Structure formats: structure tokens, C-alpha cells
Structure 1
Amino acid sequence: MPTGVHIRDAREQLFEAAERVLLQAGPNGLTSRAVTEEAGVAKGVLHRHFTDFDDFLAQLVIDRVQRMEAAAIALRESAGTGTVTGNLTEALTALFGSVAVAVVALLIFRDELRARLRERWPTGVPLLTEAAAMIAGYLAAERELGRIPPTADVDTLAPTLIGATHMLFADRAAPPAVETVHKTVRTVLA
């Protein structure tokens, strides 16, 4: 890209390029050069917006976690409608059908990235921790409405659902069938 050409929303352009590279090449293929080439920008653009590549990756993870807030609100608002299993199946399929599985692999792959994110998330895996909170909030709302038993331990059910669903999506060429996710959710809730 020629010097001096203004790039609209360079951060988001770089984040989207990073997601594409991550999905195509995995954590090993995610380099600053691969990201800037995919974004069609000079390498200096990345370093103009971020202190280094791990800062870029940390900001990418933070941005993607913050985007989950809208999904969490929508899921909580669905309490009392449809079925609990159906609502959870839809939310979990959307979560893991996105770039989330690849981001988790990235977090496992890069020690420096995890170290940077420890300041914000001292325990757990970013993205998965937020997803578990989203599911727990929804389950608590359903419990209040009497659609799941009053004794349901939502703080245990939520990470169990996240872990079980993550296993369905992890390291697959194609996502699992919705029926498979639905069966897993139904089984965990039982």
C-alpha cells in the first residue's frame, strides 16, 4: 500500500485480516507479515496502532470478548421464550461457529499473549471465561422463571456446557450438526 494513503478503521481491518489468517493458517501462520499482507496494508500500519504484535493480538482478543456483550444481552433477553435447550444450542453454535475456537488455540499457542491478558483475566481462558459468564447469566434468568430447577447450579452448568460444546467444534474440518450440539446441551442440562 502506498505511503500516505488514509486507511479507514485500520484497527478493525487488521483484526478482520488476523481472523482470516488464523482460520486459514492457524496460530503458527499468524504473523504480523501475514496479517498486513491479508489486510493489504504496509507492515508499519500495524506498528503505528499497536506497540508490538502481542499487543495487537491482546487487543484483538479484548475486542472480540467485548463483542460478546451483545450476544449475552440477547441470550438473557431470550429467557422465557422458546426452549432452554434451543436457546442454548443457538447461542453456543453461534459462539463456536465464529472464530472463537481459533482464538482459543491462539491463546494456548502464545505464552506472551496469555501473560499480557492475565492482567485482565487472572484466571481462566479469555473468551471462554466470558462465554461461561454469558451462559450462567442466561441460566440464572431461566431458573428465576422456573424453567430449570431451582437447585440447578448454573455456575457449574455454564462451564460444563462451554467445555462440552468447545470439544464438539475443536479441530474439525466442518462444524458439528446442530442436532449434535442440541443433544449435548440437552444431556448436560439433564
Structure 2
Amino acid sequence: MPTGVHLRDARQQLFDAAERVLLRDGPNGLTSRAVTDEAGCAKGVLHRHFADFDAFLTDLVLDRADQLETHAAALRESAGTGTVADNLTAALTALFGPVPVAIIPLITFRDELRARLRQARPGGGIAILTQATAAVAAYLTDERELGRIAADADIDSLTLSLVGGGHLLFADRDSSPTTAVHNLVTTVTADVVQRRPTRAT
């Protein structure tokens, strides 16, 4: 089997195993031994592909953060369709799914991981939240340009309120609080939606 294929498969198997451990046992339970045991491989496999465990975690977080780009793209494509509140509710629910929400405390828990993420990319120290913030800000900007929210809407403040509030609603919950998220979105965006210019029909 070609080396590149073997490496890619091993990495993905280890990432998937780490994800399962993280969801089941939380950040404290995520160790190199727990990952390799979950993956059903020798501990040396992980260290063959990564310099150390923090290097593994850095790549894991960046891989999962990159997966959020699909949800970010879907949110931007929804601009001008449906309602602003429904679009944002669906996006926040996807962006703060079980895996992203589990990764955020992992980043908070490990100083070295945050440092490596910052080195890896701008804003990487708060990966996941950075992706969610960028996605929501881009969407709100598009809606403002389309005239569906007020022209003077403060995109930065709206984004911080939506992402921060959304994260708090999903943290430490076993189920998706869709109704609560929709209420949050409706409240935060009410003023800028109501103040948008009325177009002639």
C-alpha cells in the first residue's frame, strides 16, 4: 500500500477515535493512550505520524474546524432567501454541533494546544469560534448589502452577540436547544431587521 494512502488513513482513523473519546469522556479523558486504544492500534502509530500529542491535537482541531466551512458556505448561500432568523438559527445549530462544542473546552484546557493553533493560522487559538464568527459576519454583511437588515447595522456587535450567545446555549447540553437559539437570534436581530428600508412593490 502506498505510504501516502496509509498515512492519510491512519490520521483519519486516529482523528475519528479522538473525536469519540472526546464526546464520551471529555477533554480530561483525551490522552494518547485513550486515542490509540479507541482506534485499536499500538500507541506507536500515533507518534509515528505526529511529533507529539499536542501536534496531533492541533491537526485534529484544524481538521474539524475546516469541516465547518461547508456550513459556512451554506449560510452565505442562504442570504436573500427565507428569513434572517431561520437562516441564522440553522447555521448556529450546525456550527455548534456536538463535536465543535466538545473541542472548544479542549482548546481552553490545553495552553500548549492554543499556542500551536495560533502559530498554525491567524485566529487559530480560538479555532471553531473563529470559523463561526467569520461565517456569521460574512452572512450578515451579505444580508446588509441585500437590504434585508439595516444599512447601519453593526456587524461586529451582532456577530459577537450571536456567536457568544449561541455557544452558551449549546454548552453542557445533551440536546439541540433550537427554540432557545431561534429566540436568541430573533431578539438580537429584531432591531436591524425592523429598521431595514421598505422597498416599493
Instruction: Give the structure-1-normalised TM-score.
Output: 0.91
In terms of mean alpha carbon deviation, does 68-77 or 114-123 score higher? 114-123
Query: What are the equivalent positions in structure 2 for 1:152-171 lying under 5 Å apart?
Result: 152-171=153-172
Query: What are the equivalent positions in structure 2 for 1:36-185 lying under 5 Å apart?
Result: 36-119=36-119, 120-121=121-122, 125-176=126-177, 178-185=178-185
Alignment gaps of 5+ in structure 2: 1-5, 191-201
Mapped partners of 1:21, 1:92: distance in 2 = 24
Paired residue total: 184
Mapped partners of 1:70, 1:123: distance in 2 = 18
| Number of the residue aligned with 2:32 | 32
**4+ residue runs over 6 A deviation:** none
Mapped partners of 2:166, 2:173: distance in 1 = 12
In the alignment, is the contact (CA less than 8 A) between 2:114 and 2:125 conserved in 1? no
- C-alpha distance 59-144 of structure 1, shift in aligned 2 (>3 A): same
What is the one-letter code of the residue matched to 2:12?
E
RMSD over aligned CA atoms reads 1.6
In the alignment, is the contact (CA less than 8 A) between 2:117 and 2:124 conserved in 1? no
Q: Where is the helix percentage greater, Structure 1 or Structure 2? A: 2
Mapped partners of 2:189, 2:13: distance in 1 = 39
Alignment gaps of 5+ in structure 1: 1-5
In the alignment, is the contact (CA less than 8 A) between 2:65 and 2:128 conserved in 1? yes
